[in-house]
Amino acid sequence: MEKITAIGLDLVKSVFQVHVLADSGDVVVRRALRRPQVPEFFRNIESCLVGIKACGSAYYWANLAKLFG
């Protein structure tokens, strides 16, 4: 698998959209996650840049992502 360089996380009410970019710039993962699945997703991803859509809960999810590197 290619090296992951960035993750885009779009925060919505119950289903979040995740896009993972590889070193080449290609999207290697594009999927929807429910709230309980997000911590497990970040636990299994290597450390990289994470972009989160700004909203009221963005700080919570950013801090959660930082816990896993």
- 26-50 per-position pLDDT tens digit: 999 999 999 999 999 999 888 899 9
The matching CATH number, chosen from 3.30.420, 3.30.300, 1.10.3720, 3.40.50, for 4-67 is 3.30.420
What does the block give as tokens for 32? 């929807």
Confidence of residue 57 (pLDDT cuts 50, 70, 90): confident
Global pTM?
0.81
Q: Cα separations (Å) of 14 from 23, 26, 29, 59?
A: 30, 27, 19, 17
